[in-house]
Copies of this chain bind each other. A is one copy, B any other.
């Protein structure tokens, strides 16, 4: 009997967020829950991240009801969520009472493990959420966003882990959203954390598959002492998603490490999601291969397509190469933030502005806030000249305190505004939904009684000859039966 490696499957959250734009309806996940619950996972990530937003924006589904359903259907397995620290699941900083209330309500509705992260790795932005989790008695996981830069050394990340342990977390997560974590740093980082924080500190490793190296990184992390790893069942894996769970199980055979997973149960869940996946074809990522240029450019795929579309809107699509060269300069000026939502958008947009209008001739409000500390501290030093420019531009002073310290109590006001909305059910859960998504919550509350919308569609005839690697093009003529004025005719349509 080898050392047991625990596994978190992300199939109910990050897998479909990464591969099918977070569109999977709860009813398409429910039939797999009995298999997932019996498979022997440490936890199932099933809530948070972009799912809350997608539920109310696209699916007319109450995210709190989704959570309660999972809790009921997964009696033997921990539920897990991804929480953006002081931002909760929204896009601004919330005052501490709101953050605490959110955590309490999530715990009450069935959440067991809270993975809490901050885009800038500023631990002060994690404090309130982590403390609230501890108060509920649930599992508080402090998260390190992995990135590469001159200031992001292994020692730096280990120091952050030490701070998180001092804050009382139950485990540390290494979160590698861009698949940048190579095998050797994976080994060194886990080893470093275990050495400095104590070997009993649980280390949980989350990697994406995009660059094709991270399955090896998981192996190395395990050899260095990692306790839990994230994977996704194969029918929703790879590309911008995660490494396949079944492969992880098989990979460990004979190594002295083993999972507790029951592959028979996992195969049943795999078959379910393999059958469901084509129903979401219009949301599925076209990219299912491997992309390694991110190691050179440091620019995640999503950020690249954002900048390309911004340039095209300005009729300057051909300047993408200049922008790609500008991004590292802007990132350096901003103190090397990890490039993850929202910092990736902020840095990318500023790089586009710099190329189109000259360096820092125009600065976005968000970029000024980033430079002035309103998102928190970055690991690198900021360029003082650009900070001065931002101060002038935004007419605001830089801050060094925790950003949320500047916020006034807002719960009562949010509650009042939420209760005034048609369809609001008067619960704190609804107040939180409104607090995080004030623009879309009103419509959602009103339309909620109509029930969830499933955006999946059954594949439709006719069968057409197409190429999976070149989606969207016919490879041969299509035959149709056309009824015109009541008369049926066989028509073959071929490109001219």
Measured CB to CB, the residues of A under 8 A from B are 182-185, 188, 211-213, 215-216, 219-220, 234-235, 237-238, 243-244, 246-247, 249-251, 253-255, 263, 267, 277-278, 281-282, 284, 286, 288-293, 295-296, 457, 459-476, 480, 482, 493, 495
> Given B183, B267, B286, B290, which contacts A468 in the complex, CB threshold below 8 Å?
B286
Closest to A493 in B: B480
Q: Are A281 and B459 neighbours in the complex by a CB distance under 8 Å? A: no
Residues in chain B near residue A473, CB distance under 8 A: 278, 281, 459-461, 463-464
Query: How far is B183's CA from A212's CA once the two chains are assembled, in angstroms?
Result: 16
Q: Are B472 and A460 neighbours in the complex by a CB distance under 8 Å? A: no
Query: How far is B291's CA from A353's CA once the two chains are assembled, in angstroms?
Result: 45
How many copies of the polypeptide does the oligomer hold?
2
Query: How far is B465's CA from A238's CA once the two chains are assembled, in angstroms?
Result: 23
CB distance from A291 to the nearest CB of B (A): 8
Residues in chain B near residue A250, CB distance under 8 A: 182, 211-213, 292, 295
Residues in chain B near residue A235, CB distance under 8 A: 289
Residues in chain B near residue A212, CB distance under 8 A: 215, 234, 238, 243-244, 246-247, 250-251
Query: How far is B281's CA from A465's CA once the two chains are assembled, in angstroms?
Result: 10
CB distance from A288 to the nearest CB of B (A): 5
Residues in chain B near residue A460, CB distance under 8 A: 473-475, 495
**Given known contacts A212-B234, A250-B213, is B282 in contact with A244 (CB within 8 Å)?**
no
Q: Are A465 and B459 neighbours in the complex by a CB distance under 8 Å? A: no
Q: What 9 new A-B contacts, CB under 8 Å, besides A237-B289, A281-B470? A: A212-B243, A213-B251, A263-B292, A278-B467, A460-B475, A462-B474, A464-B466, A465-B472, A480-B493
> Given B215, B282, B459, B482, which contacts A213 in the complex, CB threshold below 8 Å?
B215
Residue pairs across A and B with Cβ atoms less than 8 A apart, 21 shown, are: A211-B250, A212-B215, A212-B234, A213-B215, A213-B251, A216-B219, A219-B219, A234-B292, A238-B238, A244-B289, A244-B292, A247-B290, A267-B293, A281-B467, A281-B470, A284-B468, A288-B289, A288-B468, A459-B467, A460-B474, A461-B474
The winner among A216, A267, A277, A459 for most chain B CB atoms within 10 A is A216
Q: Are A459 and B470 neighbours in the complex by a CB distance under 8 Å? A: yes
Residues in chain B near residue A480, CB distance under 8 A: 493
Query: How far is B238's CA from A253's CA once the two chains are assembled, in angstroms?
Result: 22
CB distance from A220 to the nearest CB of B (A): 8
Q: Are A281 and B464 neighbours in the complex by a CB distance under 8 Å? A: no
CB distance from A190 to the nearest CB of B (A): 14
The winner among A212, A295, A462 for most chain B CB atoms within 10 A is A212
Query: How far is B292's CA from A186's CA once the two chains are assembled, in angstroms?
Result: 25
Closest to A235 in B: B289
Q: Are A183 and B464 neighbours in the complex by a CB distance under 8 Å? A: no
**Given known contacts A212-B244, A216-B215, A247-B213, is B184 in contact with A255 (CB within 8 Å)?**
yes
Residues in chain B near residue A476, CB distance under 8 A: 282
Q: Are A290 and B246 neighbours in the complex by a CB distance under 8 Å? A: yes
Query: How far is B463's CA from A471's CA once the two chains are assembled, in angstroms?
Result: 9
Residues in chain B near residue A482, CB distance under 8 A: 493
Q: Are A237 and B184 neighbours in the complex by a CB distance under 8 Å? A: no
> Given B211, B263, B468, which contacts A471 in the complex, CB threshold below 8 Å?
B468
The winner among A284, A286, A468 for most chain B CB atoms within 10 A is A468
Q: Are A278 and B457 neighbours in the complex by a CB distance under 8 Å? A: no
Query: How far is B200's CA from A340's CA once the two chains are assembled, in angstroms?
Result: 47
CB distance from A167 to the nearest CB of B (A): 30
Q: Are B254 and A185 neighbours in the complex by a CB distance under 8 Å? A: yes
Residues in chain B near residue A493, CB distance under 8 A: 480, 482, 493
Residues in chain B near residue A471, CB distance under 8 A: 466-468, 471
Query: How far is B462's CA from A475's CA once the two chains are assembled, in angstroms?
Result: 10
Residues in chain B near residue A267, CB distance under 8 A: 293
Query: How far is B253's CA from A235's CA once the two chains are assembled, in angstroms?
Result: 30
> Given B184, B185, B216, B281, which contacts A466 in the complex, CB threshold below 8 Å?
B281
Query: How far is B290's CA from A267's CA once the two chains are assembled, in angstroms?
Result: 12
Query: How far is B295's CA from A459's CA once the two chains are assembled, in angstroms?
Result: 31
Q: Are B469 and A281 neighbours in the complex by a CB distance under 8 Å? A: yes
Q: Are B278 and A184 neighbours in the complex by a CB distance under 8 Å? A: no
Residues in chain B near residue A464, CB distance under 8 A: 464, 466, 472-474
Residues in chain B near residue A463, CB distance under 8 A: 472-473
Query: How far is B292's CA from A249's CA once the two chains are assembled, in angstroms?
Result: 10
Residues in chain B near residue A296, CB distance under 8 A: 263
